Amino acid sequence: MRRAYILVLLAANNWFVGLSQVNYCSSFESEFFEYSGSATLLSDDVVRLTSAINADFGALWSFNTIDFNNDFSVSAQLYFGNTDSPGADGIAFVIQPLSNNEGVSGGGLGFQGITPSLAVEMDTWFNSGDDPTSSDHIAVIANGVNNSIAAHSEFVPYNNLPNIEDGLWHDFTLVWTAATQSITVVFDGVTMFDFNLDVSNVIFSGGNDLFWGFTAATGGQVNVHQVKILDYCYTPSNCDEVTPPTGPENQQFCDVAFYSDLDITEDSLLFYDTPTSGDPIDPQNPLYDGQVVYVSQVINGCESAQRLMINVELSAIVQPDLEAIELCKAADGSALLNFDIILENGGFDSTDELSVYLTFQEANAYSSTLPWSNDYLLSSDQTFFVRMETAFCYTIQELNVTLSNCEPIIPEGFSPNNDGNNDYFNIQFLYGIHLNHQMKIFSRNGTLIFNGNNNQPWRGQTNSSDDIVPVGTYFYVLQLNDDLNRVYRGWVYLNY
């Protein structure tokens, strides 16, 4: 028989706990149960089997059969109503081969007459001649014969219970261990039964594919009966062939991704790191680059024998800190931006990794890319949007470029020989920017020989003559006359 599993939804609170290679546990999911009679889902996990009305019946059956060649367990809470006397009639846990087979209501607790079947009844009403005790009691009953005193102890003696029609929820656990053919029943923390029984051969003529569920009934007397299934563990049987899920075999993600992020058409999935066998992986676990993931799908509790193989590529998002760039204004107030500064700023190796845009929308759409230029002319402060990418990942960051009046850059020499190159004392970021500056030139003996301004740079002459002064070292005092009253003093070598 092919291995099968209970459906695991892709949500953390429904994640399974594995018990063995073929037996897995799940919390209650209403869509995997069938409702008979008056059974009604009241909330996410509470099913009302009967209302407090006469001759009512309700049953909750598993959608799929159990393979009793494997272990099975169920933990639930049961509510028997709040009327002790004359409340009736009780709840039974039942296994049988027909999903919606209904038994007798009233004292039959909804399972009387179901043959073949095996039930654990919790009876709250005394039927004289049918029940072995007038107390609330718990008993193991075969083939729906709970109207027989002897049947209440056919396999194991019944046990009396205290009043359970007390308006409280009562804990119920049943465990079937296939290897030892043992059944353990615990009620409100007390072990009621622990016995061995060849269920398949003694009750079901060699059959192992059985439905399970809870039944309840009222008769001439009434109570509200409810069940809350906490968890259950089983292996479905009689599974139809289930195909593997579908999705791209190569999937790429940026930065961080999880198993649940995989692009798969189907919803009911199990994830593995091996092509066969192995334990399923929590879908909230992260993926890693180069990983191979294997995915099966589950339909009606049955898992596909084959698994979809997915190759995962995970690329880190490029996120360097792009510091703002400050450019020095030219005399006309403009500045030239060399895009290579962005390479240096972000630590990039080449322009293949980034592109520049004027708007975020253009960067995101990968449109209207600015041509890579060493002389992008700016007339005012500008915000650019830099798209940085590696493989299939990208991120967009703002890059602020500001234009400023920079500190003057003063050369240490010039040659006024009219060759068209370096013919005057050319101080960068001074002329046309600091319009009110004053430049004084002194000879080595301290004599003032030239007094210039923004309109009159020093070309090697004195104020009194156009003749070029002799080769040598001269001293300057540059006063910007700006808000900070900055003054620069130094020397410059004049040579023809």
pLDDT digits (tens, 9 = 90+) for 264-299: 999 889 999 999 988 899 999 999 999 999 999 987
pLDDT of residue 16: 34
Which has the closest alpha carbon to 238: 152, 300, 323, 294? Answer: 300
- Of 3-12, 171-180, 258-267, 339-348, the poorest mean pLDDT is in 3-12
pLDDT of residue 430: 94
Residue 184, burial from CB neighbour count under 10 angstroms (0-12, 13-18, 19+): middle
Dist CA 129 CA 147 (whole Å): 8
State the average pLDDT for the chain: 90
* pLDDT at residue 376 is higher than 70: yes
Dist CA 492 CA 486 (whole Å): 19
Task: State how far the alpha carbon of 77 is from the alpha carbons of 36, 94, 125, in Å.
Answer: 19, 15, 20
* pLDDT at residue 36 is higher than 90: yes
At 470, give phi and psi (nearest 5°): -65, 155
* pLDDT at residue 394 is higher than 70: yes
Q: Which residue has the higher pLDDT, 475 or 1?
A: 475
pLDDT digits (tens, 9 = 90+) for 142-162: 999 999 999 999 999 999 999
Class of domain 12-234: mainly beta
Which has the closest alpha carbon to 450: 411, 415, 482, 492? Answer: 492
Q: What is the reported pTM? A: 0.54
Task: Name the band, by pLDDT with cuts 50, 70 and 90, for residue 103.
Answer: confident
Residues 433-454, mean pLDDT to the nearest whole number: 96
- Of 15-29, 176-190, 307-321, 398-412, the poorest mean pLDDT is in 15-29
Which has the closest alpha carbon to 252: 310, 307, 318? Answer: 310
* pLDDT at residue 6 is higher than 60: no
- Contact status, residue 218 vs residue 52, Cβ threshold 8 Å: yes
Give the percent of the chain with pLDDT over 70. Answer: 94
For the domain made up of 413-494, give the CATH fold: Immunoglobulin-like (2.60.40)
Task: Name the band, by pLDDT with cuts 50, 70 and 90, for residue 414.
Answer: very high
Dist CA 97 CA 451 (whole Å): 114
CB atoms within 10 A of CB 185: 21
pLDDT of residue 23: 62
pLDDT digits (tens, 9 = 90+) for 51-98: 999 999 999 999 888 889 899 999 999 999 999 989 999 999 999 998
Which has the closest alpha carbon to 226: 370, 108, 368, 76? Answer: 76
Cβ-count burial 92-112 (b if 16+ within 10 Å, e if not) = bbbbbbebebbbbbbbbbbbb
pLDDT of residue 475: 98
pLDDT digits (tens, 9 = 90+) for 201-239: 999 999 999 999 999 999 999 999 999 999 999 887 766
* pLDDT at residue 14 is higher than 60: no
- Of 17-31, 88-102, 395-409, the poorest mean pLDDT is in 17-31
pLDDT of residue 301: 66
pLDDT of residue 12: 30
Task: Name the band, by pLDDT with cuts 50, 70 and 90, for residue 175.
Answer: very high
Dist CA 110 CA 11 (whole Å): 35
pLDDT of residue 75: 98
Which has the closest alpha carbon to 286: 311, 261, 323, 320? Answer: 261
Task: Name the band, by pLDDT with cuts 50, 70 and 90, for residue 390.
Answer: confident
Dist CA 6 CA 234 (whole Å): 8
Residues 125-137, mean pLDDT to the nearest whole number: 96
Question: In sequence order, which residues have a C-beta less than 8 Å from that of residue 35 and are 6 or more positions away?
Answer: 41, 47, 58, 59, 60, 61
Domain boundaries, the chain: 12-234, 250-315, 325-404, 413-494
Dist CA 26 CA 16 (whole Å): 5
Residues 311-316, mean pLDDT to the nearest whole number: 91
Half-sphere CA count of 273, side-chain side, radius 13 A: 10
Which has the closest alpha carbon to 45: 227, 301, 234, 300? Answer: 227
Cβ-count burial 429-459 (b if 16+ within 10 Å, e if not) = bbbebbeebebbbbbeeeeebbebebeebbe
Cβ-count burial 60-77 (b if 16+ within 10 Å, e if not) = bbbebbbbbebbbbbbbb
pLDDT of residue 104: 87
pLDDT of residue 300: 64
The pair of structure tokens assigned to 303 is 């898992």
Residue 332, burial from CB neighbour count under 10 angstroms (0-12, 13-18, 19+): exposed
